[in-house]
Amino acid sequence: MTVSVRRALARARSAEPPGPDFPAGHQVTPWPGTPVPVPHALDPLLTGALAGSRLRPSPSAGALHPVNAHLLLGPGGTLPPGRYAYDPVRHRLVPRGPACPGAPGGAIAVLTVTARRTVSHYGHRAWPLLLLDTGHAAAALALAGAPAWCPDADGALLAAAAGLRPDGHRAEPEHALAAVRLTPGPADALERWAAHAPAPPPPATPHPVPAVLAETWRVLTALTTTGRPTWRPTRAPAVPRAVLLSRRSAEPPLPGVPDGAVLARVASAARTARPPSWSVVTGRPATGPGPSPLAALAARAARQEWLTGVGALLLAHGCPDDAPPARIRRDHLLAGYGAGLAQAVAAARGLASRPVGSWQHGSGPGDGPADIVHALALGAGPDPRTGRNDGS
């Protein structure tokens, strides 16, 4: 499976265009059960991070929002201990089964992806975007107050903790990629939840499975076959709650080079997620002959020519095609996470910003850093949500 992941990453970074679109399926997994209100203690977290209809606080490639959150609630809360699926459109929890005696305390969100939503448009380029979107969702929860997260737990462990059946029972599968502590809890909470019996599956999917989707499922499974989970503090910067609730990715163009001190603060927020490596390319005119650095980078970003007019690009890079699967997963999750933190800081400073996920190989030393994983486009403003452009 290692070879297949490496080939899949090289293909995702190639110039090969995605195939035709196919149905994206449900916007939210239709889990059976009667929705219940979100507990008061968790309401600010979920409202500030994941709630909303198509436009949610957590950025997503193509606004397709493939990331799902399964909440594992221990004793001591206002809801019975058990597993719950979060419905971000209705801002409700759907009970998926009670906890057994001895369930660990605290609340955890297991983040999964429904790959079809993103693969339906991005094809073979989708699976890196699924990892980036998951990192953005984890960052959104961290910014809203979650104290810790785990980007490296074994996918089978995460799925078992969430009560997901390994065979799917003909339902659209969800692949578990990360976990976020919503409240403090014991270090072995995931292992203890995984010992509980699986929960009932959602209804069977009526859609056929294109070959590119089946291949994406295999890649996601290979990427998440890892060791023991490692919980790490979120270390999210303090951002006003009004910014968390109002931030959105700006529509191009994003002109104007941000003030150097402000740009340094944005980059510093991203670098808390190192690795991967981070660097900044500004839109100031290039010195010497040849095209500007932004023109070369725009050609690598699935030919998104609007990038030639942005004020700056914050780039996450350094994950080669032949990296081990565990590193590929880690670097993409952390790139999404770091870009999510940086985007919130940019919004708080009045900058316009937009994540850029699909990146292809460069053809020479003038094409920017090798092995670009993710980017955040930045402009001095005005930000379309605040009208501010002073960067203060």
Average pLDDT over residues 165-174: 82
Is the pLDDT at 225 greater than 50? The verdict is yes
Residue type at 334 in one-letter notation: L
Average pLDDT, stretch 377-387? Answer: 67
Q: Looking at the domain 2-233, which fold is it? A: NADH Oxidase (3.40.109)
Of 351, 328, 381, the residue nearest 267 (C-alpha): 351
Q: Where are the domains of the chain?
A: 2-233, 246-379
Q: Can you give the pLDDT at residue 364?
A: 75
The arithmetic mean of pLDDT across residues 231-240, rounded, is 95
Q: Is the pLDDT of residue 384 over 50?
A: no
Report the mean per-residue pLDDT for the chain: 91
pLDDT beyond 50 at 387: no
Helix, coil or strand: residue 294: helix
Does the structure show a pLDDT above 50 at 383?
A: no
Q: Give the torsion through C-alpha atoms of 251, 255, 260, 266, to 10 deg.
A: 10
- Average pLDDT, stretch 178-205? 94
Tens digits of residue pLDDT in 51-70: 987 667 889 999 999 999 99
Task: Report the pLDDT averaged over residues 289-299.
Answer: 80
Instruction: Summarize pLDDT for 7-48 with one digit per residue, the tens.
Output: 999 999 999 999 999 999 999 999 999 999 999 999 999 999
Has residue 114 got a pLDDT over 80?
yes
DSSP 24-46: ---SS---SS--EEPPTTTHHHH
What pLDDT is stored for residue 362 in this prediction? 87
What average pLDDT does range 110-134 have in this prediction? 98
- Are the C-beta atoms of 28 and 56 separated by less than 8 Å? no
Please give the pLDDT value at position 390.
35
339 pLDDT higher than 70: yes
Mean pLDDT of 223-240: 92
pLDDT at residue 367 tops 90:
no
Positive or negative: CA dihedral 8, 12, 14, 15: positive
The pLDDT of residue 227: 76
**How far are the Cα atoms of 126, 279, 311, 378 from residue 354, in angstroms, in the given order?**
18, 16, 12, 7
Across the range 145-160, mean pLDDT stands at: 97
pLDDT confidence of 213, banded at 50, 70, 90?
very high
**Residue 1 pLDDT exceeds 60:** no
Q: Which two tokens stand for residue 5?
A: 């992941």
Q: What is the reported pLDDT for 366? A: 77
Query: Class of the 246-379 domain?
Result: alpha beta
What pLDDT, on the 0 to 100 scale, is given for residue 247? 84
Fold match between domain 2-233 and domain 246-379: yes
**Model-level pTM greater than 0.75?**
yes
| pLDDT band of 309, cuts 50, 70, 90 | very high
User: What does the pLDDT read at residue 290?
Assistant: 57
Q: Span 134-157, mean pLDDT?
A: 97
pLDDT of residue 183: 97
State the pLDDT confidence band at 385, using cuts at 50, 70 and 90.
very low
- Look at residues 367, 241, 243, 350 and name the one whose alpha carbon lies nearest to residue 315: 367
- Quote the Cα angle for 70-72-73, to 5°: 135
Cα 179 to Cα 161: distance, rounded to the nearest angstrom: 10
Residue 66's closest CA among 133, 121, 12?
133
**What Å distances lie between residue 48 and 44, 65, 136, 255, 373, CA to CA?**
6, 16, 13, 28, 26
